[in-house]
Structure 1
Amino acid sequence: MPFKVYQKILTFSSTKRKELIDITREVERAVAESGVEEGTCMVFVPHATAAVIANEHEHGLMSDILRALTELVPPDKGWEHNKIDDNADAHILASIIGPSRCFPVSGGRLVRGTWQNVFLVELDGPRHSRKVIVTVMGEGK
């Protein structure tokens, strides 16, 4: 099987300052479109105030994650960057969480745990446009 590289740019919008946006189906669709049978899928956000995680899509847990993020890095703590943009907490949290996650691809499908969905983590919304770059690499048809 030849080595393939496939890239797709997805666009999402957010409606809240901090929000978890489930992008699992769109990522799985990109993997299916790629034609890669065995390889890896990287999900990357090219934004300094957004991140990517994998976790359970359960509303209580999603609320808990957002609350924990606010408690971990309070927005009103007197951060230096807030003098410029008033979003230091979003930058700090994005640095801690990270802009990407990498998943295996096997049998032409994204490999994830039973309770793992892929989320875009909005940390400085609402935003009209957030890009997510999905890169799928490996052996394919």
Structure 2
Amino acid sequence: MNRQPHTSTREVIVANAIGEVVRELRMVDVGDYIAYIRLERLASIADLVDSAAELYFQPGTLRLGHGGEAHVAWEGPPRIVLDLELRPTGVTVYFALTLTARKASVEVNYVAFDKPAADPAENDGFLERALEHSRIRRSEPVAT
């Protein structure tokens, strides 16, 4: 697939938006991911993604896409790749989240805007605003 010049910008936008969710997903033991993927228990992975996302996004904003991959070999650490979809109002982002022992990364595969602008920078701004609007707002507890 040929990467478009604005894909890198969108990967940064997505990575920043889901950072807290990624921290939640990393709390799951890597062995569980490997087992769920190898045994094709994708509903279990979808539940993990939904549970992590519900803390930070409106329902349905972030969900498991078509599955995942577990890369496990004797000569290296495991690598989990989850196919995810972000669906804030007005845009859908299809991307892969890769989790390793030390880092996580996002690779955007496709972005579909309901009403795309001719300028990619306008679309980037729309994506950023749409993700911000889909976040759950928490009010700070009042000190007594």
TM-score (norm 1): 0.28
| Structure 1 or 2: more helix by fraction | 2
| Structure 1 or 2: more strand by fraction | 1
Specify which structure has the bigger relative contact order, considering alpha-carbon pairs within 8 angstroms and separated by 6 or more residues: 1
